[in-house]
Amino acid sequence: MDAAGFASAARWYVEGFGHRSGVNVTLDAPDQLGRFPDAVEPALFRVLQEALTNVHRHSGASTAQVSIREDAGQVILEVRDNGRGIPEALLAHFQATGGGMGVGLAGIRERARELAGRVKIESDSAGTLVGVTIPLKPTTVKPEHNSPEGWPPVPSVLDDGVGQNY
């Protein structure tokens, strides 16, 4: 990905994923899709990996479509499948709290959030759509009192959420 960029890496990954998983995957991405900022390309690749992993592990889908496009200063990655969908109550809980669905979708949400992006998840009995939109212009992080000007906050203690401090 470092040499050829996200679009090339996505083409390679989608082709290999289809062979390995047995899911018929298509990719819709412009041939002239350029390079994205350094932080954006690996995040998009990880989102693509996680979304397709979820298709394979959980959806029961026979097909998936991956779409990558650049529009109005942002990149949009969408993965749509024809699987069984996410139960409505579970999806509503995830969208309200960010929890209850394992680490995959939470990781996608976190990667988008770190880049000031948005996640869209739509699902019904005909399949699921996971979409991520990431702005391509740098965003500024509001410094906190313990951080140098322009830097993200520096935590005094990191807590892993299960009482283990580092």
pTM over 0.95? The answer is no
- Judging by beta carbons within 10 Å of its beta carbon (0-12, 13-18, 19+), is residue 43 exposed, middle or buried? buried
d(CA 40, CA 15): 21
The string of pLDDT tens digits covering residues 4-18 is 789 999 999 999 999
Confidence of residue 1 (pLDDT cuts 50, 70, 90): low
3-state secondary structure of 117: coil
What's the pLDDT at 51? 97
Task: Report pLDDT for 163.
Answer: 39
Please write the tens of the pLDDT for every residue from 109-154.
Answer: 999 999 999 999 999 999 999 999 999 986 544 444 444 444 444 4
pLDDT greater than 70 at residue 25: yes
Task: Give the C-alpha separation, 154 to 144, whole Å.
Answer: 8
d(CA 80, CA 122): 9
CA dist 157 and 166 (Å) reads 7
pLDDT digits (tens, 9 = 90+) for 75-115: 999 999 999 999 999 999 888 887 877 788 999 999 999 99
Long-range contacts for 115-123 (Cβ within 8 Å, ≥24 apart)?
A: 115/39, 115/40, 115/43, 115/139, 117/74, 121/86, 121/91, 121/94, 121/95, 123/85, 123/86, 123/88, 123/91
The domains located in the chain, with CATH, are: 6-135 (3.30.565.10)
**Structure-block tokens of residue 162:** 């299960």
Which pLDDT tens digit goes with each residue over 32-56?
A: 888 999 999 999 999 999 999 999 9
Q: Calculate the average pLDDT of the chain.
A: 84
